Amino acid sequence: MFLKTSFTTLIVGVFVVYVLHTCWVMYGIVYTKPCNNPKGANCITPFLAGNPKLQLSIYTTLRSNAEGGHTLIHKEENFDVNSKFERTINVSLPKKTRNNGTLYALIFVHQAAHDPWHDPRQVHLVAQLTTYMVPKPPEISLISGEDKTKLHDAATGGGARAGATSVSDHPVSHWRSRLTVNIVGDHFLFDREYLPNDVHRYLRVFQNGKKVVYLPLLFVDELSNRVKDLVINSTTTELPLIISYDSISLGRLRFWIHMQDAVYSLQQFGFTEKDADEIKGIFVDTNLYFLALTFFVAAFHLLFDFLAFKNDISFWKQKKSMVGMSSKAVLWRCFSTIVIFLYLLDEQTSLLVLIPAGIGSMIEVWKVKKAFKIQVFWKGGKPTFLFGKLDESERRTEEYDTLAMKYLSYLLYPLCIGGAVYALIFLRYKSWYSWLINSLVNGVYAFGFLFMLPQLFVNYKAFNTFIDDVFAFIITMPTSHRLACFRDDVVFLIYLYQRWLYPVDKTRVNEYGVSYDEKPKGKSH
The set of residues, in sequence order, having a beta carbon less than 8 Å from that of 501 and lying 6+ positions away, is none
Dist. CA 328–CA 369, nearest whole Å: 13
pLDDT given for residue 58 in this prediction: 96
Helix H or strand E segment including 333? helix 327-346
- What 421-424 contacts at long range (C-beta under 8 Å, 24+ apart), as own/partner pairs, is 424/142, 424/143
Dist. CA 134–CA 172, nearest whole Å: 6
Q: Are 192 and 44 in contact (CB under 8 A)?
A: yes
Neighbouring-strand partners of residue 184? 248
- pLDDT by residue (tens digit) across 287-298? 667 777 777 777
- pLDDT by residue (tens digit) across 323-369? 656 677 788 778 888 888 888 887 777 666 777 788 888 888 888 88
Q: Report which of 97, 238, 236, 222 is spatially closest to residue 172, judged by C-alpha positions.
A: 97
Q: Are 438 and 429 in contact (CB under 8 A)?
A: yes
pLDDT given for residue 495 in this prediction: 66
If phi over 0 gives left and psi between -120 and 50 gives alpha, with beta otherwise, what is residue 165? alpha
Give the pLDDT mean for 110-139. 87
Query: Would the pLDDT of 79 be above 90?
Result: yes
Query: Would the pLDDT of 32 be above 50?
Result: yes
Average the pLDDT over each of 89-98, 155-164, 298-307 and give the range with the smallest value. 155-164
- pLDDT by residue (tens digit) across 415-473? 778 878 877 887 777 778 888 888 887 777 666 655 555 444 443 343 335 445 555 55
Residue 353 DSSP one-character state: H
pLDDT band at residue 91 under the 50/70/90 scheme: very high
| pLDDT: which is higher, 464 or 69 | 69
* Whole-structure pTM value: 0.61
Dist. CA 357–CA 467, nearest whole Å: 16
pLDDT band at residue 155 under the 50/70/90 scheme: very low
